[in-house]
Amino acid sequence: MNKIPFKLSLLSLLMAFLSISIACQKADGDSTTPIDTTGNNVNPSSSEMLTLYKKIYGATDVYLEGNFVVVKTKDFPDHKSPYFKGTAWESTKYEAYTGSNPQFAINPNRISEKNLTFRFPVNPQEASSKSATPLGSIGISLNGVVFFNQYAGPNQPLTNEINSFDQHNGHPAPGNEYHYHVEPMYLTGKVGKEALLGFLLDGFPVYGPQENGKTVSNADLDSYHGHKHATTEFPKGIYHYHFTNEAPYLNGSGFFGTPGTVSR
């Protein structure tokens, strides 16, 4: 009579052991493609990277050149904006402000077509010495519009600039370069809050403000505003940035990797 409970407890021990080992396997990711523990990213091949960069549907050209992916863009949004007022595209692209900021005030700049050429490292790696992001373009979103960092000028917060963000969270700079400092609302409305949204100049990808159904906070990220784990596009794991709803929004204290270049 005593043997049955003994067998049952052996069985439950075995079950517990099995579920622990399954959980460990899951935590370690796919055992055939381990995440490199030396700190380097086990990145996709150049041609796989090129395929991912071709998700930038707003680009006018995307191709490989040596160790770089070259992306050309006109930086022209695929959505409407108050900043088309008085431009050649006013009749089709102008839309009055429809956002929720009662202090919205249009700035004197307008949207125009640009010719920007980005060169992203095709095999992004952590830089041994990190560099600050510059003012101006620091990356590109899937719709071809560029990303700017968290500053309005040298170390000047965005406090006043925010009031000139249109309903899609973009605005043009002097020189009419349209850009996003914060979550690109039109894009996340289109592809989702958890999706790949673009790349920063160091070649590391940018994801939306949510992950696994939860809002990402600054506390989930390091000082460069990213972290490393597997994503849909990078199942072996990769360092990536996230937009968050609070400053610094996209990038913290600089590029995690070695930045490529952007030319006008």
Cβ nearer to Zn ion, comparing 70 with 187: 187
DSSP state of 201: T
Cβ nearer to Zn ion, comparing 68 with 165: 165
The minimum distance between CB 63 and Zn ion, in angstroms, equals 28
Cβ nearer to Zn ion, comparing 113 with 211: 211
| In contact, 164 and 102? CB cutoff 8 Å | no
Q: In angstroms, what CA-CA distances link 243 with 68, 132, 141, 180?
A: 24, 18, 12, 11
The minimum distance between CB 186 and Zn ion, in angstroms, equals 16
The minimum distance between CB 7 and Zn ion, in angstroms, equals 45
Cβ nearer to Zn ion, comparing 217 with 261: 217
Binding-residue total with Zn ion (CB under 5 A): 1
The minimum distance between CB 245 and Zn ion, in angstroms, equals 15
**Tokens representing residue 31 in the block:** 């055992």
| Pairing of the two strands 214-215 and 210-211 | antiparallel
The minimum distance between CB 117 and Zn ion, in angstroms, equals 21
Cβ nearer to Zn ion, comparing 68 with 147: 147
> Which parts of 155-214 interact with Zn ion (CB under 5 A)?
211
| In contact, 44 and 52? CB cutoff 8 Å | yes
Residues that bind Zn ion (CB under 5 A): 211
